[in-house]
Amino acid sequence: AQKVTQAQTEISVVEKEDVTLDCVYETRDTTYYLFWYKQPPSGELVFLIRRNSFDEQNEISGRYSWNFQKSTSSFNFTITASQVVDSAVYFCALSDRDTGNQFYFGTGTSLTVIP
């Protein structure tokens, strides 16, 4: 079974629009960790955020914000006022005891910001 689902394969937005990337996860553990990574066209994987299952407080970092909702098993990522530099593939990941504390990645969402 897919432990992390990113249903949006590709998204295109016009610069300055807001965009939300969806992430739905599945786990039986009560303790788990969620992550978002960015992969720009250059190919490296850049860590964006980590959230543990006991902290449902939403987080904002500049134009980035994350909405964690345990009731819907979702950890969505919003970019406000998107910029061309935000064009990248974004991955959501889960780590829990079921997976031996590995990192289980979604299939990624490719975001294109059109100038």
Partner 1 sequence: DADVTQTPRNRITKTGKRIMLECSQTKGHDRMYWYRQDPGLGLRLIYYSFDVKDINKGEISDGYSVSRQAQAKFSLSLESAIPNQTALYFCATAWDRGTEAFFGQGTRLTVV
Between residues 38 and 65, which has the closer beta carbon with respect to partner 1? Answer: 38
Residue 83 makes CB contacts below 8 A (sequence gap 6+) with: 15, 16, 63, 113
- Residue 36: Cβ-neighbour burial (10 angstroms; 0-12, 13-18, 19+): buried
Smallest separation (angstroms) from partner 1 to the CB of 52: 6
Interface ranges with partner 1 (CB under 8 A): 6, 9, 31, 33, 35, 37, 43-45, 47, 50, 52, 91, 93, 95, 100-108
Q: d(Cα 40, Cα 42) in Å, to the nearest integer?
A: 5
Smallest separation (angstroms) from partner 1 to the CB of 104: 8
Between residues 48 and 80, which has the closer beta carbon with respect to partner 1? Answer: 48
Between residues 37 and 66, which has the closer beta carbon with respect to partner 1? Answer: 37
88 forms beta bridges with 111
